[in-house]
Amino acid sequence: WLDKVRVVSTSQPLLPPKIAPGVFEQVSDALYGDQWLDVDYKNAEGKKTNARVMPLGLAQQGPRMYLVCRFDGYDDERCLALHRMVSAKASTLTFDRPKDFNLKEFDDAGRFGYGDGTQIRQSFWINKAAGLHILECPLSADQQVVELDDAYEITATVVDSDMLDWWLRGFGDSIKNIKKWRIQK
């Protein structure tokens, strides 16, 4: 069976970062036991933080794993990369899982794309060769396409995020006239 179906990456394959021994087990135990988690964390800039967090969800994005959590005393969600945890220890203290948190909704809001969930209208011109796959795999259900001489003008409602910006920049000279505007509620 393994030679008949395969999921393939749409980006450059990377090896997963190393996670400190015991971290994944402690994070998993705390997550599934609704227990507070004490973490020693070193962010991408090298700043170290000791914190108590409420683990709410675990997600794998490409080769990296992230813990969605709330810091003790706060009511907003943050993502912590497991490979940046120097150590983690599940507490014996439990918590009541917030009824307003839903991991799927968190993901659907683009929070793993380094955004805050804000929806925008995005438009750009992309040359036809580079843009064909966006016609085949639209950015959103409301995507609109205007065919120009040598390009497509694409307009769609998307979540504003750093990942979207990185994706657009990846087209280099094949994309131009990039515009975005906030949706008025």
pLDDT at 52 over 80: yes
Residue appearing with tokens 């979540």: 159
Q: What is the pLDDT of residue 46?
A: 92
Q: What is the pLDDT of residue 37?
A: 98
**CA-based nearest residue to 22, from 6, 40, 36, 45:** 40
Q: What is the pLDDT of residue 115?
A: 67
Mention every residue, 6+ apart, whose C-beta is less than 8 A from residue 66.
Answer: 58, 59, 60, 79, 80, 81, 82, 112
Alpha-carbon distance of 39 to 31, in angstroms, equals 13
Q: How confident is the model at residue 168 (pLDDT cuts 50, 70, 90)?
A: very high
Cα torsion angle, 8, 122, 150, 148, sign: positive
Q: How confident is the model at residue 166 (pLDDT cuts 50, 70, 90)?
A: confident
Lowest mean pLDDT among 84-88, 106-110, 129-133: 106-110
Q: For 36-51, what is the mean pLDDT? A: 95
pLDDT at 174 over 60: yes
Alpha-carbon distance of 160 to 17, in angstroms, equals 27
pTM passes above 0.85: no
b/e map 20-35, b = 16+ CB within 10 Å? eeebbebbeebbeeeb
Kindly state the percentage of the chain with pLDDT values over 90.
71
Q: For 103-114, what is the mean pLDDT? A: 79
H/E stretch holding 133 reads helix 128-136
Kindly state the percentage of the chain with pLDDT values over 70.
97
Paired tokens of 65: 């794993």
Please give the mean pLDDT across all residues of the chain. 91
- The SS3 call for residue 148 is coil
Q: How confident is the model at residue 89 (pLDDT cuts 50, 70, 90)?
A: very high
Helices (H) and strands (E) in the chain, counts: 4, 9
pLDDT at 150 over 70: yes
Task: Give me the DSSP letters along 151-169.
Answer: EEEEEEEEE--HHHHHHHH
